[in-house]
Amino acid sequence: MPDLDWTYISPADEIAPGERTGTFRLGGDKMLTAADGTSFISAEDYAPALVDELEQSQAIRRRITVAY
């Protein structure tokens, strides 16, 4: 359906309960990694990133990634 708006939000390679830092990075279609090759985000930071996208609709019809 060409008139369907969608967004696919992928978390980091590892998502787990943890501390909310209020800091995260948004990326495109490729998984985000740190300099040491790890890819992580806490559930407490992933949730606000998801809500931000729902409210702001910056990534319509594309995939984004969320990680530190």
pLDDT for the residue numbered 63: 95
Interval 3-38: pLDDT, tens: 889 999 999 999 999 999 999 999 999 999 999 999
**Contact call for residues 39 and 67 (beta carbons, < 8 A):** yes
Is pLDDT at 2 greater than 70 in this prediction?
A: yes
Residue 61 lies in a domain: yes
Residue 2 lies in a domain: no
How would residue 51 be classed by pLDDT, with cut points 50, 70 and 90? Answer: very high
The number of domains in the chain is 1
Residue 50 lies in a domain: yes
Residue 56 lies in a domain: yes
How would residue 1 be classed by pLDDT, with cut points 50, 70 and 90? Answer: low
Nearest to 17 by CA among 36, 45, 39, 38: 45
**The pTM is what?**
0.84
